Amino acid sequence: MERIVERKIVGSKGEILPSKKLREVLQLRPGSLVEIKLEDRSLVVEPVKDPLEELDGVLEMDASIKELKRMAEAQMMKEAVAKTSQRRGRQSSVNV
């Protein structure tokens, strides 16, 4: 991989924005997960592969990565609604 060096100004909230060229080389898109490590006195930023992409071809189902994400989000939403309902049930029984 080619070596690319850039100088950036740190934003008021600590953000450091890589150039379009760096984002393209690393295939970073909005919402991409990255790992940031401190090594000696340097920050190392590495893309993290989506865990669902690693399951591609392993699962015996005909669902795309996009469909798997949608299914996971729907399940998380159901669980969040169930937890909220349980909490409200406990609160109303305390207030009675």
Asked if residue 89 and residue 68 are part of one domain, the reply reads yes
Per the structure, how many domains does the chain have?
A: 2
- Report the predicted TM-score, pTM, of the whole model to 2 decimal places: 0.50
Q: How confident is the model at residue 50 (pLDDT cuts 50, 70, 90)?
A: confident
Asked if residue 91 and residue 69 are part of one domain, the reply reads yes
Pairwise CA distance, residues 34 & 48, whole Å = 5
Q: How confident is the model at residue 17 (pLDDT cuts 50, 70, 90)?
A: very high
Asked if residue 42 and residue 76 are part of one domain, the reply reads no
Report the pLDDT value the prediction gives residue 41, as an integer from 0 to 100: 93
Digit-coded pLDDT (tens) for 28-41: 988 888 999 999 99
Asked if residue 90 and residue 59 are part of one domain, the reply reads yes
Instruction: Over range 21-27, report the average pLDDT.
Output: 91
Domain of 21? 1-48
Asked if residue 44 and residue 70 are part of one domain, the reply reads no
Contacts of 86 (CB under 8 A, 6+ apart): none
Digit-coded pLDDT (tens) for 55-77: 666 666 666 767 777 888 899 99
